[in-house]
Structure 1
Protein backbone atom coordinates (compact mmCIF):
# COMPACT_ATOMS: atom_id res chain seq x y z
CA UNK A 1 0.00 0.00 0.00
CA UNK A 2 1.14 3.55 -0.67
CA UNK A 3 0.67 6.10 2.09
CA UNK A 4 -1.56 9.11 1.53
CA UNK A 5 -0.11 12.15 3.35
CA UNK A 6 -2.27 15.26 3.39
CA UNK A 7 -3.68 17.99 5.63
CA UNK A 8 -7.26 18.93 6.48
CA UNK A 9 -8.65 22.30 7.61
CA UNK A 10 -10.72 22.50 10.83
CA UNK A 11 -12.20 25.43 12.80
CA UNK A 12 -10.57 24.81 16.21
CA UNK A 13 -8.10 27.34 17.72
CA UNK A 14 -8.93 30.10 15.28
CA UNK A 15 -8.62 27.74 12.35
CA UNK A 16 -6.13 24.88 12.18
CA UNK A 17 -4.44 22.60 9.69
CA UNK A 18 -4.17 18.95 10.82
CA UNK A 19 -1.58 16.65 9.30
CA UNK A 20 -2.97 13.20 8.52
CA UNK A 21 -1.65 10.04 6.91
CA UNK A 22 -3.71 7.13 5.58
CA UNK A 23 -1.92 3.81 5.09
CA UNK A 24 -3.84 3.40 1.82
CA UNK A 25 -7.12 4.34 0.13
CA UNK A 26 -10.01 4.70 2.58
CA UNK A 27 -12.40 1.72 2.60
CA UNK A 28 -15.79 2.56 4.17
CA UNK A 29 -16.43 -1.17 4.75
CA UNK A 30 -13.57 -1.34 7.26
CA UNK A 31 -13.35 0.15 10.77
CA UNK A 32 -10.94 3.06 11.17
CA UNK A 33 -8.03 2.93 13.60
CA UNK A 34 -6.70 6.40 14.44
CA UNK A 35 -3.01 6.47 15.40
CA UNK A 36 -1.76 9.31 17.64
CA UNK A 37 1.99 9.76 17.90
CA UNK A 38 4.17 10.38 20.93
CA UNK A 39 6.07 13.47 22.13
CA UNK A 40 8.02 15.28 19.35
CA UNK A 41 7.55 12.43 16.84
CA UNK A 42 5.25 12.50 13.82
CA UNK A 43 2.97 10.17 11.87
CA UNK A 44 6.22 8.42 10.87
CA UNK A 45 6.24 6.75 14.29
CA UNK A 46 3.71 4.32 12.79
CA UNK A 47 5.76 3.26 9.75
CA UNK A 48 5.76 -0.38 11.01
CA UNK A 49 1.96 -0.34 11.24
CA UNK A 50 1.58 1.21 7.77
CA UNK A 51 3.81 -1.57 6.41
CA UNK A 52 1.80 -4.42 7.99
CA UNK A 53 -0.61 -5.88 5.38
CA UNK A 54 -2.57 -7.83 8.00
CA UNK A 55 -3.31 -4.72 10.04
CA UNK A 56 -3.99 -2.71 6.88
CA UNK A 57 -6.60 -5.23 5.77
CA UNK A 58 -8.30 -5.15 9.20
CA UNK A 59 -8.78 -1.38 9.40
CA UNK A 60 -8.26 1.98 7.75
CA UNK A 61 -5.07 3.22 9.42
CA UNK A 62 -5.23 6.98 9.94
CA UNK A 63 -2.42 8.81 11.75
CA UNK A 64 -3.38 12.24 13.10
CA UNK A 65 -0.59 14.54 14.30
CA UNK A 66 -1.30 16.52 17.51
CA UNK A 67 -0.71 20.24 17.88
CA UNK A 68 3.01 20.98 18.05
CA UNK A 69 3.85 17.93 15.95
CA UNK A 70 4.41 17.10 12.31
CA UNK A 71 2.36 19.18 9.87
CA UNK A 72 -0.36 20.30 12.31
CA UNK A 73 -0.61 24.06 12.85
CA UNK A 74 -3.00 26.39 14.67
CA UNK A 75 -3.83 30.06 14.26
CA UNK A 76 -3.83 30.62 18.03
CA UNK A 77 -0.32 30.42 19.52
CA UNK A 78 -1.09 28.14 22.50
CA UNK A 79 -2.69 24.71 22.82
CA UNK A 80 -3.16 21.78 25.21
CA UNK A 81 -3.82 18.05 24.92
CA UNK A 82 -7.55 18.78 25.12
CA UNK A 83 -7.15 20.94 22.02
CA UNK A 84 -5.46 18.06 20.19
CA UNK A 85 -8.35 15.77 21.15
CA UNK A 86 -10.87 18.29 19.79
CA UNK A 87 -8.80 18.79 16.63
CA UNK A 88 -8.68 15.04 16.01
CA UNK A 89 -12.45 14.78 16.36
CA UNK A 90 -12.96 17.71 13.99
CA UNK A 91 -10.52 16.13 11.52
CA UNK A 92 -12.52 12.90 11.58
CA UNK A 93 -15.70 14.87 10.92
CA UNK A 94 -14.06 16.76 8.06
CA UNK A 95 -12.89 13.46 6.56
CA UNK A 96 -16.42 12.03 6.79
CA UNK A 97 -15.51 9.36 9.37
CA UNK A 98 -18.33 9.02 11.89
CA UNK A 99 -16.75 6.55 14.29
CA UNK A 100 -13.29 5.17 14.99
CA UNK A 101 -11.06 3.24 17.31
CA UNK A 102 -8.12 5.23 18.66
CA UNK A 103 -4.59 3.97 19.41
CA UNK A 104 -2.15 6.32 21.12
CA UNK A 105 1.47 6.00 22.18
CA UNK A 106 2.51 7.80 25.40
CA UNK A 107 0.93 11.28 25.03
CA UNK A 108 -1.22 9.75 22.29
CA UNK A 109 -2.75 7.49 24.92
CA UNK A 110 -4.02 10.34 27.03
CA UNK A 111 -5.19 12.23 23.94
CA UNK A 112 -7.15 9.08 22.99
CA UNK A 113 -8.75 9.04 26.45
CA UNK A 114 -9.69 12.71 26.09
CA UNK A 115 -11.27 11.96 22.71
CA UNK A 116 -13.34 9.17 24.29
CA UNK A 117 -14.50 11.54 27.03
CA UNK A 118 -15.45 14.31 24.60
CA UNK A 119 -17.15 12.18 21.94
CA UNK A 120 -18.30 8.79 23.27
CA UNK A 121 -20.52 8.36 20.21
CA UNK A 122 -17.49 8.65 17.91
CA UNK A 123 -14.80 6.72 19.81
CA UNK A 124 -15.68 3.01 19.89
CA UNK A 125 -12.58 1.81 21.71
CA UNK A 126 -9.13 2.97 22.77
CA UNK A 127 -5.74 1.28 22.77
CA UNK A 128 -3.21 2.93 25.06
CA UNK A 129 0.49 2.15 24.62
CA UNK A 130 3.12 2.97 27.24
CA UNK A 131 1.09 5.78 28.70
CA UNK A 132 -0.21 7.31 31.94
CA UNK A 133 -3.56 8.82 32.86
CA UNK A 134 -2.07 10.94 35.66
CA UNK A 135 -0.37 14.32 35.71
CA UNK A 136 3.38 14.22 36.44
CA UNK A 137 2.53 13.49 40.06
CA UNK A 138 4.43 12.37 43.17
CA UNK A 139 2.12 9.33 43.09
CA UNK A 140 3.37 8.25 39.68
CA UNK A 141 7.02 8.72 40.71
CA UNK A 142 6.39 6.60 43.80
CA UNK A 143 5.20 3.86 41.44
CA UNK A 144 8.44 3.95 39.47
CA UNK A 145 7.61 6.43 36.70
CA UNK A 146 10.13 9.02 35.55
CA UNK A 147 10.42 12.52 36.97
CA UNK A 148 8.82 14.40 34.09
CA UNK A 149 9.25 17.77 35.78
CA UNK A 150 12.99 17.27 36.24
CA UNK A 151 13.39 15.90 32.69
CA UNK A 152 11.42 18.62 30.90
CA UNK A 153 12.10 21.82 32.86
CA UNK A 154 15.66 22.40 31.55
CA UNK A 155 14.36 22.15 27.97
CA UNK A 156 11.42 24.48 28.66
CA UNK A 157 13.90 27.01 30.05
CA UNK A 158 16.41 26.53 27.22
CA UNK A 159 13.73 27.18 24.59
CA UNK A 160 12.36 30.34 26.22
CA UNK A 161 14.05 32.94 24.01
CA UNK A 162 13.41 33.65 20.32
CA UNK A 163 15.93 32.24 17.83
CA UNK A 164 16.91 32.90 14.23
CA UNK A 165 15.42 31.17 11.23
CA UNK A 166 18.61 29.09 10.87
CA UNK A 167 17.90 27.32 14.21
CA UNK A 168 17.18 23.59 14.22
CA UNK A 169 16.40 21.24 17.07
CA UNK A 170 19.62 20.08 18.80
CA UNK A 171 20.77 16.52 18.04
CA UNK A 172 21.14 15.96 21.80
CA UNK A 173 17.38 16.32 22.29
CA UNK A 174 16.62 13.80 19.55
CA UNK A 175 19.13 11.36 21.02
CA UNK A 176 17.68 11.82 24.52
CA UNK A 177 14.16 11.03 23.27
CA UNK A 178 15.31 7.98 21.27
CA UNK A 179 17.42 6.65 24.15
CA UNK A 180 14.68 7.15 26.75
CA UNK A 181 11.81 5.91 24.59
CA UNK A 182 13.47 3.12 22.61
CA UNK A 183 16.64 2.25 24.48
CA UNK A 184 18.62 3.55 21.52
CA UNK A 185 18.20 2.86 17.79
CA UNK A 186 20.28 1.83 14.77
CA UNK A 187 22.38 4.43 12.96
CA UNK A 188 19.96 4.32 10.02
CA UNK A 189 16.94 4.90 12.26
CA UNK A 190 18.74 7.71 14.11
CA UNK A 191 19.54 9.42 10.81
CA UNK A 192 15.88 9.14 9.77
CA UNK A 193 14.65 10.75 12.98
CA UNK A 194 17.33 13.46 12.98
CA UNK A 195 16.15 14.52 9.51
CA UNK A 196 12.49 14.32 10.55
CA UNK A 197 13.01 16.38 13.72
CA UNK A 198 15.04 19.01 11.85
CA UNK A 199 12.25 19.37 9.29
CA UNK A 200 9.56 19.64 11.99
CA UNK A 201 11.41 21.87 14.47
CA UNK A 202 13.31 24.64 12.72
CA UNK A 203 13.30 28.42 12.98
CA UNK A 204 11.57 30.37 15.74
CA UNK A 205 8.14 28.88 15.02
CA UNK A 206 9.65 25.40 15.38
CA UNK A 207 11.29 26.40 18.66
CA UNK A 208 7.95 27.63 19.98
CA UNK A 209 6.07 24.45 18.97
CA UNK A 210 8.77 22.33 20.59
CA UNK A 211 8.64 24.39 23.79
CA UNK A 212 4.84 24.19 24.00
CA UNK A 213 4.93 20.43 23.37
CA UNK A 214 7.36 20.13 26.28
CA UNK A 215 5.31 22.43 28.54
CA UNK A 216 2.21 20.32 27.79
CA UNK A 217 4.03 17.11 28.66
CA UNK A 218 5.30 18.55 31.94
CA UNK A 219 2.26 20.56 33.05
CA UNK A 220 -0.74 18.52 31.79
CA UNK A 221 -3.81 17.79 33.91
CA UNK A 222 -4.52 14.26 35.06
CA UNK A 223 -7.62 12.24 34.18
CA UNK A 224 -8.21 10.17 37.33
CA UNK A 225 -11.45 11.96 38.17
CA UNK A 226 -12.84 11.38 34.67
CA UNK A 227 -11.83 7.83 33.71
CA UNK A 228 -15.01 6.31 35.17
CA UNK A 229 -16.95 8.21 32.47
CA UNK A 230 -15.23 6.39 29.59
CA UNK A 231 -17.77 3.85 28.33
CA UNK A 232 -15.85 2.19 25.49
CA UNK A 233 -13.54 -0.86 25.72
CA UNK A 234 -9.92 -0.13 26.68
CA UNK A 235 -6.85 -2.20 25.84
CA UNK A 236 -3.63 -0.99 27.47
CA UNK A 237 -0.31 -2.44 26.30
CA UNK A 238 2.75 -1.74 28.43
CA UNK A 239 6.36 -2.87 28.03
CA UNK A 240 8.50 -4.16 30.87
CA UNK A 241 11.45 -2.07 29.61
CA UNK A 242 9.46 1.19 29.56
CA UNK A 243 11.78 3.83 31.09
CA UNK A 244 9.10 6.53 31.37
CA UNK A 245 5.92 5.04 32.84
CA UNK A 246 5.93 1.89 34.93
CA UNK A 247 3.97 -1.35 34.70
CA UNK A 248 2.92 -0.73 38.32
CA UNK A 249 1.31 2.56 37.29
CA UNK A 250 -0.51 0.89 34.40
CA UNK A 251 -1.74 -1.89 36.70
CA UNK A 252 -3.25 0.68 39.05
CA UNK A 253 -4.74 2.97 36.41
CA UNK A 254 -6.40 0.27 34.28
CA UNK A 255 -8.66 -0.37 37.28
CA UNK A 256 -9.96 3.21 37.07
CA UNK A 257 -11.94 2.53 33.86
CA UNK A 258 -14.78 1.20 35.98
CA UNK A 259 -17.58 1.74 33.44
CA UNK A 260 -15.83 0.37 30.36
CA UNK A 261 -17.34 -2.90 29.07
CA UNK A 262 -13.79 -4.23 29.27
CA UNK A 263 -10.56 -2.61 30.45
CA UNK A 264 -7.59 -4.91 30.05
CA UNK A 265 -3.84 -4.56 30.53
CA UNK A 266 -1.38 -6.65 28.53
CA UNK A 267 2.28 -6.65 29.56
CA UNK A 268 4.79 -6.91 26.69
CA UNK A 269 8.07 -8.51 27.80
CA UNK A 270 11.00 -6.29 26.84
CA UNK A 271 8.70 -3.66 25.36
CA UNK A 272 10.02 -0.09 25.26
CA UNK A 273 8.15 3.16 25.87
CA UNK A 274 7.43 3.72 22.14
CA UNK A 275 5.92 0.25 22.03
CA UNK A 276 4.51 0.37 18.50
CA UNK A 277 8.06 0.96 17.24
CA UNK A 278 9.93 -1.45 19.53
CA UNK A 279 7.42 -4.35 19.32
CA UNK A 280 5.25 -3.82 16.24
CA UNK A 281 4.29 -7.48 15.80
CA UNK A 282 2.80 -7.72 19.29
CA UNK A 283 1.05 -4.35 18.98
CA UNK A 284 -0.35 -5.07 15.52
CA UNK A 285 -1.60 -8.52 16.53
CA UNK A 286 -3.30 -7.09 19.63
CA UNK A 287 -4.90 -4.33 17.52
CA UNK A 288 -6.29 -6.83 15.02
CA UNK A 289 -7.79 -8.91 17.85
CA UNK A 290 -9.22 -5.79 19.52
CA UNK A 291 -10.85 -4.66 16.28
CA UNK A 292 -12.27 -8.12 15.56
CA UNK A 293 -13.80 -8.24 19.00
CA UNK A 294 -15.31 -4.74 19.16
CA UNK A 295 -15.80 -3.43 15.62
Structure 2
Protein backbone atom coordinates (compact mmCIF):
# COMPACT_ATOMS: atom_id res chain seq x y z
CA UNK A 1 0.00 0.00 0.00
CA UNK A 2 1.17 3.50 -0.79
CA UNK A 3 2.72 5.49 2.05
CA UNK A 4 0.40 8.22 3.27
CA UNK A 5 -2.62 7.13 1.23
CA UNK A 6 -6.14 6.55 2.49
CA UNK A 7 -8.68 4.67 0.39
CA UNK A 8 -12.25 5.27 -0.74
CA UNK A 9 -14.56 2.87 -2.56
CA UNK A 10 -16.15 3.80 -5.92
CA UNK A 11 -18.32 1.73 -8.28
CA UNK A 12 -16.17 1.90 -11.44
CA UNK A 13 -14.55 -1.25 -12.92
CA UNK A 14 -16.68 -3.66 -10.93
CA UNK A 15 -15.97 -1.84 -7.70
CA UNK A 16 -12.66 -0.11 -6.94
CA UNK A 17 -10.64 0.94 -3.93
CA UNK A 18 -8.91 4.21 -4.81
CA UNK A 19 -5.83 5.49 -3.00
CA UNK A 20 -5.88 9.17 -2.14
CA UNK A 21 -4.36 11.74 0.19
CA UNK A 22 -6.20 14.82 1.46
CA UNK A 23 -3.87 17.46 2.87
CA UNK A 24 -6.28 18.52 5.63
CA UNK A 25 -9.98 18.08 6.43
CA UNK A 26 -12.10 19.23 3.50
CA UNK A 27 -13.12 22.91 3.69
CA UNK A 28 -16.05 23.70 1.36
CA UNK A 29 -15.14 27.39 1.47
CA UNK A 30 -11.92 26.68 -0.45
CA UNK A 31 -11.44 25.44 -4.02
CA UNK A 32 -10.17 21.87 -4.35
CA UNK A 33 -7.05 20.94 -6.30
CA UNK A 34 -6.90 17.32 -7.43
CA UNK A 35 -3.33 16.16 -8.15
CA UNK A 36 -2.78 13.20 -10.49
CA UNK A 37 0.59 11.44 -10.32
CA UNK A 38 3.05 10.50 -13.03
CA UNK A 39 3.81 7.02 -14.37
CA UNK A 40 4.37 4.36 -11.67
CA UNK A 41 4.64 6.91 -8.83
CA UNK A 42 2.04 7.54 -6.10
CA UNK A 43 0.57 10.32 -3.93
CA UNK A 44 4.13 10.69 -2.64
CA UNK A 45 5.04 12.55 -5.83
CA UNK A 46 3.19 15.54 -4.37
CA UNK A 47 5.10 15.80 -1.09
CA UNK A 48 6.39 19.27 -2.17
CA UNK A 49 2.83 20.45 -2.80
CA UNK A 50 1.44 19.12 0.50
CA UNK A 51 4.38 20.79 2.30
CA UNK A 52 3.78 24.20 0.67
CA UNK A 53 1.92 26.50 3.07
CA UNK A 54 0.65 28.88 0.37
CA UNK A 55 -0.88 26.11 -1.72
CA UNK A 56 -2.40 24.44 1.33
CA UNK A 57 -3.99 27.74 2.39
CA UNK A 58 -5.35 28.39 -1.12
CA UNK A 59 -7.04 25.03 -1.72
CA UNK A 60 -8.02 21.62 -0.46
CA UNK A 61 -5.18 19.43 -1.78
CA UNK A 62 -6.34 15.99 -2.92
CA UNK A 63 -3.90 13.58 -4.59
CA UNK A 64 -5.56 10.56 -6.25
CA UNK A 65 -3.68 7.46 -7.43
CA UNK A 66 -4.48 6.11 -10.90
CA UNK A 67 -5.39 2.50 -11.60
CA UNK A 68 -2.18 0.46 -11.46
CA UNK A 69 -0.62 2.88 -8.98
CA UNK A 70 -0.17 3.11 -5.21
CA UNK A 71 -3.06 1.78 -3.15
CA UNK A 72 -5.62 1.80 -6.00
CA UNK A 73 -7.17 -1.58 -6.85
CA UNK A 74 -10.06 -2.70 -9.08
CA UNK A 75 -12.20 -5.81 -9.43
CA UNK A 76 -11.41 -5.90 -13.17
CA UNK A 77 -7.88 -6.70 -14.30
CA UNK A 78 -7.64 -4.27 -17.23
CA UNK A 79 -7.90 -0.48 -17.17
CA UNK A 80 -7.09 2.62 -19.22
CA UNK A 81 -6.56 6.32 -18.57
CA UNK A 82 -10.26 6.92 -19.24
CA UNK A 83 -11.02 4.56 -16.35
CA UNK A 84 -8.79 6.58 -14.03
CA UNK A 85 -10.48 9.81 -15.12
CA UNK A 86 -13.91 8.32 -14.38
CA UNK A 87 -12.77 6.91 -11.03
CA UNK A 88 -11.29 10.28 -10.03
CA UNK A 89 -14.63 11.96 -10.71
CA UNK A 90 -16.32 9.28 -8.61
CA UNK A 91 -13.83 9.94 -5.78
CA UNK A 92 -14.88 13.61 -5.79
CA UNK A 93 -18.52 12.52 -5.55
CA UNK A 94 -17.76 10.04 -2.77
CA UNK A 95 -15.92 12.70 -0.76
CA UNK A 96 -18.71 15.24 -1.24
CA UNK A 97 -16.65 17.63 -3.38
CA UNK A 98 -18.87 19.18 -6.07
CA UNK A 99 -16.23 20.92 -8.22
CA UNK A 100 -12.45 20.89 -8.53
CA UNK A 101 -9.38 22.01 -10.39
CA UNK A 102 -7.00 19.27 -11.57
CA UNK A 103 -3.19 19.39 -11.76
CA UNK A 104 -1.49 16.46 -13.47
CA UNK A 105 2.16 15.58 -13.96
CA UNK A 106 3.07 13.75 -17.20
CA UNK A 107 0.36 11.04 -17.57
CA UNK A 108 -1.54 12.98 -14.92
CA UNK A 109 -1.85 15.80 -17.44
CA UNK A 110 -3.82 13.73 -19.90
CA UNK A 111 -5.93 12.25 -17.11
CA UNK A 112 -6.71 15.81 -15.96
CA UNK A 113 -7.72 16.64 -19.52
CA UNK A 114 -9.91 13.55 -19.76
CA UNK A 115 -11.64 14.57 -16.53
CA UNK A 116 -12.37 18.01 -18.02
CA UNK A 117 -13.71 16.44 -21.23
CA UNK A 118 -15.92 13.99 -19.32
CA UNK A 119 -17.30 16.43 -16.75
CA UNK A 120 -17.07 20.06 -17.90
CA UNK A 121 -19.52 21.14 -15.20
CA UNK A 122 -17.33 19.64 -12.47
CA UNK A 123 -13.79 20.58 -13.54
CA UNK A 124 -13.06 24.30 -13.06
CA UNK A 125 -9.59 24.37 -14.57
CA UNK A 126 -6.64 22.13 -15.41
CA UNK A 127 -2.89 22.50 -14.89
CA UNK A 128 -1.05 19.98 -17.11
CA UNK A 129 2.67 19.67 -16.33
CA UNK A 130 5.33 18.16 -18.61
CA UNK A 131 2.81 16.31 -20.71
CA UNK A 132 1.36 15.62 -24.15
CA UNK A 133 -2.12 15.39 -25.61
CA UNK A 134 -1.02 13.04 -28.40
CA UNK A 135 -0.57 9.30 -28.56
CA UNK A 136 3.04 8.11 -28.97
CA UNK A 137 3.00 9.26 -32.59
CA UNK A 138 5.58 10.01 -35.26
CA UNK A 139 4.38 13.62 -35.07
CA UNK A 140 5.31 13.65 -31.40
CA UNK A 141 8.82 12.32 -32.09
CA UNK A 142 9.29 14.79 -34.94
CA UNK A 143 8.66 17.60 -32.43
CA UNK A 144 11.45 16.36 -30.18
CA UNK A 145 9.54 14.10 -27.79
CA UNK A 146 10.88 10.74 -26.65
CA UNK A 147 10.30 7.40 -28.29
CA UNK A 148 7.75 5.95 -25.87
CA UNK A 149 7.57 2.68 -27.77
CA UNK A 150 11.30 2.18 -27.33
CA UNK A 151 11.14 3.04 -23.62
CA UNK A 152 8.07 0.97 -22.73
CA UNK A 153 8.20 -2.16 -24.90
CA UNK A 154 11.18 -3.89 -23.20
CA UNK A 155 9.45 -3.56 -19.81
CA UNK A 156 6.12 -4.78 -21.21
CA UNK A 157 7.90 -7.85 -22.60
CA UNK A 158 9.93 -8.42 -19.41
CA UNK A 159 6.79 -8.25 -17.25
CA UNK A 160 4.76 -10.67 -19.40
CA UNK A 161 5.27 -13.87 -17.40
CA UNK A 162 3.79 -14.68 -13.98
CA UNK A 163 6.12 -14.34 -10.99
CA UNK A 164 6.21 -15.57 -7.40
CA UNK A 165 5.15 -13.83 -4.22
CA UNK A 166 8.73 -12.76 -3.52
CA UNK A 167 8.99 -10.63 -6.71
CA UNK A 168 9.60 -6.90 -6.35
CA UNK A 169 9.99 -4.29 -9.07
CA UNK A 170 13.60 -4.25 -10.35
CA UNK A 171 15.74 -1.33 -9.22
CA UNK A 172 16.73 -0.64 -12.82
CA UNK A 173 13.08 0.08 -13.65
CA UNK A 174 12.85 2.64 -10.84
CA UNK A 175 16.11 4.27 -11.89
CA UNK A 176 14.94 4.51 -15.51
CA UNK A 177 11.75 6.30 -14.46
CA UNK A 178 13.66 8.65 -12.13
CA UNK A 179 16.14 9.38 -14.90
CA UNK A 180 13.42 10.25 -17.39
CA UNK A 181 11.44 12.22 -14.81
CA UNK A 182 14.07 14.07 -12.83
CA UNK A 183 17.28 13.86 -14.85
CA UNK A 184 20.69 13.34 -13.27
CA UNK A 185 20.13 15.51 -10.19
CA UNK A 186 18.34 12.93 -8.03
CA UNK A 187 19.71 12.94 -4.49
CA UNK A 188 20.67 9.69 -2.79
CA UNK A 189 17.89 10.19 -0.24
CA UNK A 190 15.26 10.79 -2.93
CA UNK A 191 16.41 7.75 -4.91
CA UNK A 192 16.31 5.57 -1.80
CA UNK A 193 12.84 6.88 -0.93
CA UNK A 194 11.45 5.96 -4.34
CA UNK A 195 13.12 2.55 -4.40
CA UNK A 196 11.41 1.77 -1.08
CA UNK A 197 8.06 3.16 -2.25
CA UNK A 198 8.12 1.21 -5.52
CA UNK A 199 9.03 -2.00 -3.70
CA UNK A 200 6.01 -1.52 -1.44
CA UNK A 201 3.65 -0.79 -4.33
CA UNK A 202 4.82 -3.39 -6.86
CA UNK A 203 5.28 -6.82 -5.27
CA UNK A 204 4.24 -10.34 -6.26
CA UNK A 205 2.34 -11.31 -9.37
CA UNK A 206 -0.46 -8.79 -8.79
CA UNK A 207 2.13 -6.01 -8.60
CA UNK A 208 3.81 -7.24 -11.77
CA UNK A 209 0.45 -7.22 -13.57
CA UNK A 210 -0.48 -3.71 -12.42
CA UNK A 211 2.89 -2.38 -13.50
CA UNK A 212 2.67 -4.08 -16.89
CA UNK A 213 -0.82 -2.74 -17.66
CA UNK A 214 0.30 0.73 -16.53
CA UNK A 215 3.22 0.52 -18.96
CA UNK A 216 0.95 -0.72 -21.77
CA UNK A 217 -1.33 2.25 -21.10
CA UNK A 218 1.59 4.66 -21.44
CA UNK A 219 2.75 3.13 -24.72
CA UNK A 220 -0.60 2.37 -26.35
CA UNK A 221 -2.86 5.21 -25.16
CA UNK A 222 -5.23 7.06 -27.50
CA UNK A 223 -4.49 10.66 -28.42
CA UNK A 224 -6.81 13.51 -27.48
CA UNK A 225 -6.42 15.92 -30.41
CA UNK A 226 -9.93 15.29 -31.74
CA UNK A 227 -11.48 15.70 -28.28
CA UNK A 228 -9.70 18.80 -26.98
CA UNK A 229 -12.57 21.06 -28.06
CA UNK A 230 -14.49 19.33 -25.27
CA UNK A 231 -12.36 21.17 -22.69
CA UNK A 232 -14.28 24.32 -21.68
CA UNK A 233 -12.39 25.31 -18.54
CA UNK A 234 -9.19 27.42 -18.38
CA UNK A 235 -5.90 25.61 -19.05
CA UNK A 236 -2.49 26.50 -17.56
CA UNK A 237 0.15 24.25 -19.15
CA UNK A 238 3.66 24.34 -17.69
CA UNK A 239 6.53 22.74 -19.60
CA UNK A 240 10.20 22.48 -18.61
CA UNK A 241 13.00 23.13 -21.09
CA UNK A 242 15.00 20.17 -19.70
CA UNK A 243 12.08 17.73 -20.04
CA UNK A 244 13.58 14.56 -21.55
CA UNK A 245 10.17 13.11 -22.50
CA UNK A 246 7.91 15.81 -23.97
CA UNK A 247 9.16 18.95 -25.69
CA UNK A 248 8.35 22.63 -25.47
CA UNK A 249 7.71 22.54 -29.23
CA UNK A 250 5.00 19.93 -28.69
CA UNK A 251 3.41 21.98 -25.90
CA UNK A 252 3.47 25.11 -28.09
CA UNK A 253 1.57 23.24 -30.78
CA UNK A 254 -0.92 21.53 -28.49
CA UNK A 255 -1.91 24.47 -26.27
CA UNK A 256 -3.52 25.98 -29.37
CA UNK A 257 -5.69 22.90 -29.84
CA UNK A 258 -7.83 23.74 -26.78
CA UNK A 259 -10.10 25.74 -29.07
CA UNK A 260 -13.10 26.03 -26.73
CA UNK A 261 -11.26 26.55 -23.42
CA UNK A 262 -12.17 29.64 -21.39
CA UNK A 263 -8.48 30.61 -21.35
CA UNK A 264 -5.19 28.97 -22.34
CA UNK A 265 -1.67 29.74 -21.24
CA UNK A 266 1.66 27.97 -21.73
CA UNK A 267 4.41 28.77 -19.25
CA UNK A 268 7.87 27.52 -20.14
CA UNK A 269 10.03 26.73 -17.09
CA UNK A 270 13.74 27.20 -17.76
CA UNK A 271 15.64 24.06 -16.70
CA UNK A 272 12.45 22.31 -15.61
CA UNK A 273 12.46 18.51 -15.73
CA UNK A 274 9.72 16.12 -16.85
CA UNK A 275 8.29 15.59 -13.34
CA UNK A 276 7.96 19.36 -13.06
CA UNK A 277 5.95 19.35 -9.83
CA UNK A 278 8.92 17.62 -8.17
CA UNK A 279 11.83 19.30 -9.97
CA UNK A 280 10.50 22.89 -9.74
CA UNK A 281 7.88 22.90 -6.99
CA UNK A 282 8.28 26.57 -6.09
CA UNK A 283 7.52 27.68 -9.65
CA UNK A 284 4.64 25.23 -10.04
CA UNK A 285 3.12 26.00 -6.63
CA UNK A 286 3.22 29.78 -7.10
CA UNK A 287 1.69 29.56 -10.59
CA UNK A 288 -1.02 27.19 -9.34
CA UNK A 289 -1.96 29.47 -6.42
CA UNK A 290 -2.29 32.34 -8.90
CA UNK A 291 -4.38 30.18 -11.28
CA UNK A 292 -6.70 29.08 -8.45
CA UNK A 293 -7.11 32.65 -7.28
CA UNK A 294 -7.98 33.84 -10.76
CA UNK A 295 -10.51 31.16 -11.69
CA UNK A 296 -12.15 29.93 -8.49
Shorter chain as denominator, the TM-score bin is over 0.9
Q: Aligned-pair distance for 1:229?
A: 1.6
Q: Deviations over 1:85-125 (max 9, x none)?
A: 00000010000001000000000000000000100111010
Match of 1:67 in 2: 67
Q: Distance in 2 between matches of 1:115 and 1:55?
A: 22
What number of residue pairs does the alignment pair up? 293
TM-score by length of 2: 0.98
Map 1:161-172 to 2 at 5 A. 161-172=161-172
List per-residue Cα deviations over 1:180-211 (Å, max 9, x = no partner): 11013100000000000000000000000000
2:150 corresponds to: 150
The answer for the alignment partner of 1:287 in structure 2 is 288
Q: Deviations over 1:218-262 (max 9, x none)?
A: 000000001012100000000000000000000000000011111
- 1:23: Cα distance to partner? 1.1
- CA distance in 1 between counterparts of 2:98 and 2:182 reads 34
Classify the secondary structure of the residue corresponding to 1:125.
strand
Distance in 1 (CA, whole Å) between partners of 2:179 and 2:119 is 35
Instruction: Determine the structure 2 residue equivalent to 1:119.
Output: 119
When normalised by structure 1's length, the TM-score is 0.98
2:32 corresponds to which residue?
32
Name the structure 1 match of 2:204.
203
> Any idea what SS the aligned residue of 1:12 has?
coil
User: Cα 1:155–1:4, aligned 2, differ >3 Å: closer, same or farther?
Assistant: closer
Equivalence for 2:6: 6
Q: Which string of whole-angstrom CA distances, capped at 9 and with x for unpartnered residues, describes residues 10-42 of structure 1? A: 000000000010111211110000000000000
- Structure 2 unaligned blocks of 5 or more: none
Shift of 1:4: 6.9
Tell me how far apart the structure 1 counterparts of residues 4 and 261 of structure 2 sit (CA, whole Å). 33
Matched with 2:90 is: 90
Distance in 2 (CA, whole Å) between partners of 1:5 and 1:16 is 15
